[in-house]
């Protein structure tokens, strides 16, 4: 005789139903929490609030990069972030793209909380990323590893209408839209200079540790960070950009 009684549902089916209900409950919970935060009924610190604007002075959290990425499509908010930072800047007119080179949502920077070897023009999001790097990585690393303040940054510039690694063909560099900056070295309060060329692997452990801390810390804010470990073309500088790729080398 055949057993015609209904079979119990399989365990995998039950698991899928439970997971679906948990995901739905989580989504509803997040939606309710988001509404309460937006309405001001839940008071949480700015660095943990996804709806408050980015502030360079705030402690870094898992939301920092997300807030930074939102500035790429919001010129007004990006400039407002810079207005609340130590970066001395002025907005520059857009320059129509020609052969993959041009300017959009860019500012001219004359100095920040440290001096610069020269003013530069960069996209606003790149400049905000630099301000975050300077406050949360560069200055603390100099104190921790060298017991000094950084008073000046030496750079190789930002805008250059060229391809990657100056090749005759290939893809345009992020420098072609002022979305990258190359950093060569740093001047300390006592006048000493720490250059990437001389101290990346120059036998001075404290200076090497300082430079490596900068490379690693920069990856928290910039999309692409390249050091002498990447290739010979970067033997004397760091490359930081806010392009469409992710790399930390």
Examine residue 111 and state whether it is found in any structural domain, yes or no: yes
Confidence tier at 168 by pLDDT (50, 70, 90): confident
Q: Quick one: pLDDT at residue 219?
A: 98
pLDDT category of residue 29 using cuts at 50, 70 and 90: very low
pLDDT band at residue 16 using 50, 70 and 90 as cut-offs: confident
Residue 21 lies in a domain: yes
Cα 99 to Cα 171, 176, 211, 231, 247, distances in angstroms: 11, 9, 35, 27, 25
Q: Average pLDDT over the chain, rounded to whole?
A: 88
Count of domains forming the chain:
2
Residue 125 token pair: 């999001």
Q: What whole-number distance in Å separates Cα of residue 162 and Cα of residue 178?
A: 11
Predicted local distance difference test score (pLDDT) of residue 203: 80
Distance CA 46, CA 94 (A): 32
pLDDT, tens digit (0-9, with 9 covering 90-100), for 102-142: 999 999 999 999 999 999 999 999 999 999 999 999 999 99
Size of the chain in residues: 249
Q: Is residue 3 part of a domain?
A: no
Q: What is the extent of the structural domain holding 14? A: 10-43
- The verdict on 157 and 85 lying in the same domain is yes
What is the pLDDT confidence band of residue 6, given thresholds at 50, 70 and 90? Answer: low
């Amino acid at each position: 005789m055949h057993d015609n009684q209904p079979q119990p549902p399989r365990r995998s089916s039950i698991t899928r139903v439970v997971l679906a209900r948990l995901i739905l409950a989580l989504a509803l919970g997040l939606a309710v929490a988001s509404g309460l935060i937006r309405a001001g009924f839940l008071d949480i610190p700015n660095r943990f609030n996804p709806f408050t604007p980015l502030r360079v002075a705030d402690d870094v959290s898992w939301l920092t990069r997300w807030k930074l990425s939102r500035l790429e499509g919001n010129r007004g908010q990006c400039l407002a972030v810079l207005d609340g930072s130590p970066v001395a800047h002025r907005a520059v007119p857009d320059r129509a793209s020609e052969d993959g080179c041009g300017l959009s949502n860019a500012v001219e920077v004359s100095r920040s909380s440290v001096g610069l070897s020269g003013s530069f023009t960069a996209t606003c999001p790149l400049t905000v990323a630099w301000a975050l790097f300077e406050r949360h990585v560069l200055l603390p690393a100099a104190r921790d590893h060298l017991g000094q303040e950084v008073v000046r940054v030496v750079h190789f510039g930002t805008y250059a209408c060229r391809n990657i690694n100056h090749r005759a063909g290939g893809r345009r560099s992020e420098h072609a839209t002022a979305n990258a900056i190359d950093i060569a070295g740093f001047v300390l309060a006592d006048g000493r200079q720490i250059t990437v060329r001389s101290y990346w692997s120059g036998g001075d452990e404290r200076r090497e540790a300082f430079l490596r801390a900068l490379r690693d810390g920069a990856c928290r804010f910039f999309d692409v960070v390249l050091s002498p470990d990447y290739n010979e073309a970067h033997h004397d500088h760091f490359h930081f950009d806010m392009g469409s790729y992710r790399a930390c080398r």
